[in-house]
Amino acid sequence: MSDENTWDETTRPTLAEPAGTTYAPEQEAVVQHLVDIHDHLRTELTRIHGLLDDVRRGVLTAGAARSEVHAMSLRQNNWTLGAYCQSYCGFVNGHHSLEDASVFPHLRRAEPDVAPVLDRLQDEHLIIHDLLDRVDTALVSLVQTGDDGALDAVEESLRTLGDRLLSHLAYEERELRGPLARHGFY
């Protein structure tokens, strides 16, 4: 794992949640909703890694992988391997946009002390969006050339995205558990 793939944990603000803090089931359900959305993103990312591995091993052609990707739950009608970000990346972007435009402002108003964490999460959203663009560019190159160098670029850009995104999701879940349980999404 390269430094590009990791966040500097020492620069991530944290919220002090008192030890042993518990929430009512309906409050925990709010938090679980966020985790469920994130779990879906994690599952789709794993599937895409598997498809790229199958292409690398010669088990699937790029066309067959494209058909598999087309069947994924986040697909849109115009999904192609080269236009990968139209769906998965679009879903991630949409999720982050909703948080930035609605959830985060709500939490800022309800609990101003959460602002440093929200600022960091928004900064990470921008970096993740750049990484999504990099994956899309690499995928377009793979579809156009089909060579091993292009496949290597897809795998590296997807690995960087995955490492950063998975860390981001875990950080968000950990730090926003309390504020979301106390104040909900809106």
pLDDT tens-digit readout, 91-119: 676 666 778 678 889 999 999 999 999 99
The DSSP symbol for 146 reads -
* Residue among 81, 93, 76 nearest 47 (CA): 81
CATH T-level topology, domain 25-183:
Four Helix Bundle (Hemerythrin (Met), subunit A) (1.20.120)
Overall average pLDDT of the 38-66 stretch: 81
Q: Which alpha helices (DSSP H) does the chain contain, by range? A: 25-57, 62-70, 88-98, 104-110, 115-145, 148-183
| pTM of the model as a whole | 0.81
Summarize pLDDT for 16-27 with one digit per residue, the tens.
888 889 999 999
Which comes out higher in pLDDT, residue 109 or 139?
A: 109
The model's confidence at residue 133, banded by pLDDT at 50, 70 and 90, is: confident
Q: List the domain boundaries for the chain.
A: 25-183
Q: Answer for the pair 158, 126: CB distance below 8 angstroms, yes or no.
A: no
